[in-house]
Amino acid sequence: MKIALVVAVARDGAIGVGGALPWRISDDLKWFKKVTAGKPVIMGRKTFTSIGKALPGRDNIVATRSQGFKAPGAFTTGSITEAITLARGCALARGVDEICIIGGAEIYAQTLPLATHIYLTRVYADIAGDVHFPVLEAEDWSERRESACEKNQRNDYGCEFFMLERNTGKL
C-alpha cells in the first residue's frame, strides 16, 4: 500500500498561518481533489477543524488525543498507527492502492518517515508562516514535475506540482 503525503509548501517551508492556509490557490485545490479522489485521507484534528467538514468522496480519518472530539462524517483515531491501519482497511475495501496524509505540520512530521510518495505543490510565495513542512533530503526522493499554474485572479501565487517517489532502499 502506498502512503502519500499531499502538501503545498511555500519557499521557506511554510504551510500554514493562524490555523489556516496562507493562500487561496484554486488550481492547487483542483490538484488536491484529483490526487486524493476516492482514497482515504488522514489528517490532524486542527486541519479537520480548519477545513470545517469531511471531504466528500473520500474516507476521512482524523487523529486526535481527545476522546470527546466529534468529527461528523469522519472516523476519529487516537494514534497515527491506528489511523494508518484504518486507512489501509478503507483503501482495500474500495480497491485503491494508496492512502493520503493531508496534514497538518504535526501529522506530516510524524508520518514523513513512513511515506512512499509525496504530492508536492511548490508555491512561489515568501510567507511568514507559523507551521512548516520538514526539510526533505534530496537524495531520498526522485521527483517528476507534473504541471504548473500561474498567479492570476484565482491563484494568489504561481505553483508547480510534483510527484515525489522515495528512492528504493531508502524506506
Ligand X SMILES: NC(=O)c1ccc[n+]([C@@H]2O[C@H](COP(=O)([O-])OP(=O)(O)OC[C@H]3O[C@@H](n4cnc5c(N)ncnc54)[C@H](OP(=O)(O)O)[C@@H]3O)[C@@H](O)[C@H]2O)c1
Q: Interface with ligand X includes 66 (CB under 6 A)?
A: yes
Task: Please identify, using beta-carbon distances, which residue of 56 and 169 lies nearer to ligand X.
Answer: 56
CB of 39 closer than 8 Å to CB of 100 = yes
Q: Which residues contact 111 (CB under 8 A, 6 or more apart)?
A: 3, 5, 42, 80, 84, 101
Q: How far is the CB of 168 from ligand X (least distance, A)?
A: 26
Pairing of strands 159-166, 141-149: antiparallel
Minimal CB distance residue for ligand X: 104
39 binds ligand X (CB under 6 A): no
Could you say which residues in the range 84-143 bind ligand X, by CB under 6 A?
Answer: 102-107, 110, 131
Q: Which stretch binds ligand X (CB under 6 A): 8-16, 90-98, 148-156, 162-170?
A: 8-16
Q: Is 46 in the site for ligand X (CB under 6 A)?
A: yes
Calculate the alpha carbon distances from 23 to 3, 47, 110 in Å. 26, 15, 24
